[in-house]
Amino acid sequence: MGSSNFAVVLPVALVVVMLGLGLTLTPQDFHRVVRHPKAVSIALVCQLVVLPALCLLLVVLFGLTGVLAVGMMLLVASPGGTSANLFSHLAGGDVALNIVLTAINSVLAAFTMPIVITLSVAAFMDDDAGVGLQPAKLIQVIVIVLVPVAIGMWIKHRYPGFAERMAKPVKIASMAVLVMAVTVAVGSEFDTLRANFGRLGLITVLLSVLSLSIGYFVPRWFGVGVRQAVASSMEIGIHNATLAIAVAVSALGSEAMAVPAATYGIVMGGPAAISAFLLARRAKSAPDQADSRARRAELLG
């Protein structure tokens, strides 16, 4: 199936993206995230509890059943897409927080995805059979996220001048590779998307918009800084559609179940780009509370 081609292209895209982001990070970024765990906790609750409940409500309201309903739940149960790190970077978010959340979500997905899939299959397909996430896929996601970032951070530490010169070219290359990956997704899933896009387009757009909004406003309501809230919005609002496609096709053996994720992979770019543009203006105009506290601590220390 064409989606398998997408699954081959995406890891290459993500390696380039994560390497570029690693060139912008230092260990101090992660130390600051650890010192302020509230943003991580709130984002994880939104990702693991609020979004599945929201998606279930949308599935019921839109009357989806069978494999399409399970496919939607599989999509929302997948960890945040690693492209969220790039959008967060463009929007002025706390990219270190994105990296931490992506890594944590990837580990938790080993437990949460099988639970969501099992309950969804039982609810929408009258089947009590449980399905587990293949460990190799989880390891692949973690490696794709962490290894290139670590290499990029090492390059920045060892060759800071080179890292600074390469930051912009790598960012451009990252965007080009992501566009190529989306193009592959459209081409490989064209017939399936054409047959189902009208039915699934609206629900996936709503899921994208609501996820991005929840990811930003809920942390802000709890006093999280702007840059961290931007990172949370992108992490929660951009789901790993390709991982959902790969699990549906290879682990669950259902191409139809991959259609919602494929549809989402096409439509989510618009809401994500608009959100990144709007949030970038807010992040630039509003000081980040966590950064302010860190600077005050440094001055006092």
* Residues 192 and 262 sit within 8 Å (Cβ to Cβ): yes
Average of pLDDT values for 276-289?
72
Quick: pLDDT tens for 44-92.
Answer: 999 999 999 999 999 999 888 888 899 999 999 887 766 787 788 888 8
pLDDT at 45: 92
**Mean pLDDT in the chain?**
76
pLDDT at 203: 94
pLDDT band at 3 (very low <50, low <70, confident <90, very high): very low
What is the residue-wise DSSP string for 238-266?
Answer: SB-HHHHHHIIIIIS--SGGGHHHHHHHH
User: What φ, ψ does residue 63 adopt, rounded to 5°?
Assistant: 70, 30
Quick: pLDDT tens for 175-232.
Answer: 666 566 556 656 666 776 777 777 789 999 999 999 999 999 999 999 988 888 999 9
* Residues 74 and 8 sit within 8 Å (Cβ to Cβ): no
The CATH number of 2-293, from 3.40.47.10, 1.20.1530.20, 2.60.40.10, 3.10.20.30, is 1.20.1530.20
pLDDT band at 290 (very low <50, low <70, confident <90, very high): very low
Angstrom distance (rounded) from CA 170 to CA 21: 9
Average of pLDDT values for 144-163?
81
pLDDT band at 1 (very low <50, low <70, confident <90, very high): very low
